Structure 1
Amino acid sequence: MNTLRHDDASVSEFRDALVDKLLDRRMITSPVVERAFRTVPRHLFVAEGTPLDVTYNVDNPVAIKRDPDGVIISSTSAAYIQARMIEQAELGPGMSVLEIGSGGYNAALLAEVVGPAGRVVSVDIDPEVTDRARELLDATGYGSRVAVVQADAENPLPGLHEPFDAILVTVGAWDLAPAWLEHLSADGRIVVPLRMNGITRAIGFRREGDHLVSTSAEVAGFVPMQGEGARDERVFLLPDRNGRHVKLRFEGDVPQEMSLLDGVLATDRGEVWSGVTIRHGVSFADLHLWFAAFLPGFCKLAVDEGTDMAAERKGWFPFGVVREDSFAYLAVRPLPEGGGVEFGARAYGPHGEAAATAMVEQIRAWDRTARIVEPAFAYWPAGSQPPEPGEDTAVLVKAHGLVTISWPPTVDAAAGQGALHNPEK
């Protein structure tokens, strides 16, 4: 527990400022969730010595536990996504909720939302995390209102016979475990940060017949799930001439013969530009999702300091594509007079232009089809009957079912796109 002595006025000031920002951003939209965030003392659930401005920051998580390499494996999630996921679950007084991934603070929020007549069960695979959560919930007065269970939630949880009105998964999940659907009521909601070829969305699902359909989705990042539901990325290192590395990280299928990329960073860099532009300050997060859905060979990138790519960091984003002996990555270049940026791809390798062109073609496809419409998601458990996918529907195969991502057509898409392009084009 954070035992820093804060006077009541300073704590209240920071907490109310946080809630006001969440309301302003419409991450909180209901009075019951607002009241929960104004009530639960977030500063008593974070690590010893954490300053109030860090604790009550809107956008950043606070680490709880790290592995021996320093990687965060448990955290108090960013306040904005905690608020949004509770709203996505459509919770209210008297309801029951299962939280998968413990920490204490989020469970206390849930207890406030469902009230004394509700039920909250919080599960985590790590006994250190569950012991800490119990201690903090007891110390803050929520111990009798939250049942904390140490278990791998990939499997059915013993003793939980009544289905839950909602399930909130607070770790990054590559798939939906069948056990979660067994614990969910017929008209319940499940909110899960679902990893789709390396890109995560916190998706609110409801049942529709033999499958689940999305009701909402938010951009988010979470620590990955542990235990039987874990899914590791495959990482390939490309050394440069100075012995530093570019890392290619694949969550989906890995292209064959990755050894063809040996020495690729010693080749001349090329680039291809799309003609697709965007104004400063406008989100293009769904372009990354489009790549994950429709770009074969898609990967995420990380680079060591000192590499040529690190030197140009302001002009590229960590999303790439591999084509045989070459790879390309998403890049932008500024438009004249500060009018925004143009999307393109930079590439290395003997066939770098082909790799860059493949990425640029998908940028243009996203621009034509998907940039002004929200995607819809569905989850089809094993044994369900998904329809034949449409032209703008991607199908991702999971261990226990299928995920579909669909961009619905709109009548005014062409007119809407024009308003977002460089007006000179």
Structure 2
Amino acid sequence: MNTLQHNDASAAKLRDALVDTLCANKMITSPEVARAFRTVPRHLFVADGTPLEVTYNVDNSVAVKRDPDGVIISSTSAAYIQARMIEQAGVTAGMSVLEIGSGGFNAALLAEIVGPDGRVVSVDIDPDVTDRARELLEQTGYGNRVDVILADAESPLPGLHEPFDAILVTVGAWDLAPAWLAHLAEGGTIVVPLRMNGVTRVIGYRHKGDHLVSISSEVAGFVPMQGEGARDERVFLLPDAGGHHVKLRFEGDLPVGLDLLDGVLATERTEAWSGVTIKHGVSFADLHLWLAVFMPGFCKLAADEGTDLSAERKGWFPFGAVHGDSFAYLAVRPLPEGGGSEFGARAYGVHGADAASAVVDQIRAWDGQARDREPSFAYWPAGSDRPEFGKDTAVLVKTHGVATISWPPAASAAR
């Protein structure tokens, strides 16, 4: 429990202000969810020493546990995405809900919503996390309203014989475990932060025949899954002359011939610009997703302090692609008239111009085929009757099935 001394009246005031903001921004759309957020004291579930202003900020997640290298492996998610996921799942009174990834606060919210006739089960692989969740739930009056289980949810959970009306996965998942689908009731909803080549969408899925189709999606990031369902990134280091590194991070197999990039940061940088622009304050998160699923050689970038890229952080985004002996990454430059930016690419390597052009081609493709159009997602478990997917559908092969992403044609989007 957060032992930092708080004034209860101040906490209640900030909690109400948080809910007012979530409702105004349509992150909360049902009175049941609003009531739960006004009732459950979030500040009693976050890490020790967390100020109220941080706890009750719409966008702040709060780290709960880190690994020996300081990487966050458990956290209290930002309030906005907790609200959206509960709304995505359609949780109402009397429902049974399975939460995969414990912490306490989210389970308490669910218990408030489902009420005495419902059921909430929260599962986590980490005994520190489950012990803490049980303690906090007990201290806040929810100990007899939530069952906390220590288990790897990748496998079927023992003793849970009745299916659940809703499943909320609160960690970043690379795939949908068959056990989750086996625990889902007919007509139920599973909400999962699905990693798709390094880019995450929180997708609400329901069954349609032998596969699942999306009913909603949100943009958010989560700590990655642990246990049997974990999928580690592969990192390739590009050293510069000063001994610092640019890291290329791949979710899938490493491209063939990465050794051709040796010394690439010492080459002259090139750039290309797309003519595609965006106003300040407008989201272009679906461009990241488009690049991740359609651009060959896609990777995410991270630059050490001291590299040239680190000095230009406002001019680029951590999405790029390897192109033989060269690599390029998404860049922006301000419009001369102000008020927005133009998308483009910068690149290193002997064939940097080709690498930059390949990124620009995808930016233009996104602008013409997907911009301002909501993508739809589907998941086809192993053994399902998959159709022939068209060239406009991105297909991601997973361990237990296939995930697909498609955007509506321009004519359909305009109707």
- What's the TM-score bracket when you normalise by the shorter of the two chains? over 0.9
Residue 245 of structure 2 aligns with an amino acid whose one-letter code is H
Q: Write out aligned runs for 1:236-251 (5 A).
A: 236-251=236-251
Contact 1:154 1:229 in 2 (8 A): yes
Cα separation, 2, equivalents of 1:398 and 1:366: 24
Q: Cα deviation per residue 1:9-30 (whole Å; 9 max; x = unaligned)?
A: 1011110111111111111000
Residues 64-90 of structure 1 deviation map (CA, whole Å, 9 limit, x = unaligned): 000000000000001000000000000
Q: What's 1:422 paired with?
A: none
Deviations for 1:371-416, whole angstroms, at most 9, x for unmatched residues? 0210000000000012111232100000000000000113276x89
In structure 2, what is the Cα distance between the partners aligned to 1:212 and 1:148?
28
Alignment partners' CA distance in 1, 2:267 and 2:8: 61
Amino acid at match of 1:195: R
Q: Distance in 2 between matches of 1:142 and 1:174?
A: 31
Specify the SS of the correspondent of 1:16.
helix
Superposition TM-score, scaled by structure 1 size: 0.96
> In 1, distance between residues paired with 2:169 and 2:278?
34
- Residue pair 2:119, 2:145 contacting (<8 A) in 1 also: yes
Paired residue type of 1:309: L
User: Which residue identity is paired with 1:275?
Assistant: G
2:120 aligned counterpart, secondary structure: strand
Could you say which residue in structure 1 is the equivalent of 2:84? 84
User: Residue type of the partner of 1:393?
Assistant: T
> AA paired with 1:145?
R
- Determine the structure 2 residue equivalent to 1:403: 403
Structure-2 separation of matches of 1:227 and 1:347: 37
Q: Deviations over 1:130-179 (max 9, x none)?
A: 00000000000000000000000000000000000000000000000000
Query: In 2, distance between residues paired with 1:192 and 1:411?
Result: 30
Report the Cα distance in structure 2 between the residues aligned to 1:371 and 1:63, rounded to whole angstroms. Answer: 34
- Structure 1 unmatched ranges of 5 or more: 417-425
Tell me the amino acid that sits aligned with residue 83 of structure 2. Answer: A
Cα distance in 1, alignment partners of residues 219 and 110 from structure 2:
21
**Larger mean Cα displacement after TM superposition, 283-292 or 334-343:** 334-343
CA distance in 2, matches of 1:47, 1:365: 44
1:290 aligns with 2:285: no
Query: Contact conserved, 1:233 with 1:249, CA < 8 A, in 2?
Result: yes
**Residues 218-271 of structure 1: per-residue CA shift (max 9 Å, x gap):** 001000000000000000110001000000000023210111101000000000
Q: Secondary structure at the match of 2:166?
A: strand
Per the alignment, residue 190 of structure 2 pairs with 190
CA distance in 2, matches of 1:4, 1:395: 48
Partners in 2 of 1:246 and 1:5 — Cα distance?
43
1:49 to partner: Cα distance: 1.4
The separation in 2 between residues aligned to 1:28 and 1:402, in whole angstroms, is: 31
Provide the C-alpha distance between the structure 1 equivalents of 2:19 and 2:48, rounded to a whole number of angstroms: 23
Q: What is the 5 A alignment of 1:374-413? A: 374-411=374-411
Q: Which amino acid aligns with 2:109?
A: L
CA–CA distance in structure 2, aligned partners of residues 254 and 48 of structure 1: 40
User: Which residue does 1:99 correspond to in 2?
Assistant: 99
Which residue does 1:421 correspond to in 2? none
For structure 2, the residue ranges without an aligned partner over 5 or more in a row are none
Residue 379 of structure 2 is aligned to residue 371 of structure 1: no
The residue correspondences of 1:13-412 to structure 2 (distance < 5 A) are 13-411=13-411
Could you tell me which amino acid in structure 2 is paired with residue 186 of structure 1? E
Would you say the 8 A contact 2:234–2:253 is kept in 1? no
Q: Distance in 2 between matches of 1:216 and 1:253?
A: 29
Question: 2-side partners of 1:353 and 1:254: how far apart?
Answer: 22
Deviation digits for residues 340-367 of structure 1 (CA, Å, limit 9, x no counterpart): 1110000000001111111100000000
Structure 1 runs of 4+ aligned residues shifted over 2 Å read none
TM-score if structure 2 supplies the norm length? Answer: 0.99
Q: Aligned-pair RMSD on alpha carbons?
A: 1.0
Alignment check: 8 A CA contact 2:276 2:364 kept: yes
Partner deviation per Cα, 1:51-109 (whole Å, 9 max, x = no partner) = 10111111121000000000000000010000000000001000000000000000000
Distance 1:358 1:311 in 2: 25
Taking the aligned partners of 1:254 and 1:340, their CA distance within structure 2 comes to 35
Conserved 8 A contact 1:278-1:342: yes
> Using the alignment, how far apart are the partners of 1:347 and 1:60 within structure 2?
34
Distance in 2 (CA, whole Å) between partners of 1:70 and 1:390 is: 43
* Whole-Å separation in 2 of the counterparts to 1:173 and 1:345: 30
Q: Distance in 1 between matches of 2:47 and 2:292?
A: 35
Q: How far apart, CA to CA, are the structure 2 residues paired with 1:340 and 1:247? A: 28
The separation in 2 between residues aligned to 1:197 and 1:152, in whole angstroms, is: 23
Partner of 1:141, secondary structure, is coil
Identity of aligned residues (%): 79
- What's the CA shift for 1:127? 0.5
Aligned residues: 415
Corresponding residue SS for 2:410 = coil
Separation in 1 of the partners of 2:304 and 2:399? Answer: 33
Partners of 1:339 and 1:144 in 2: CA distance: 54
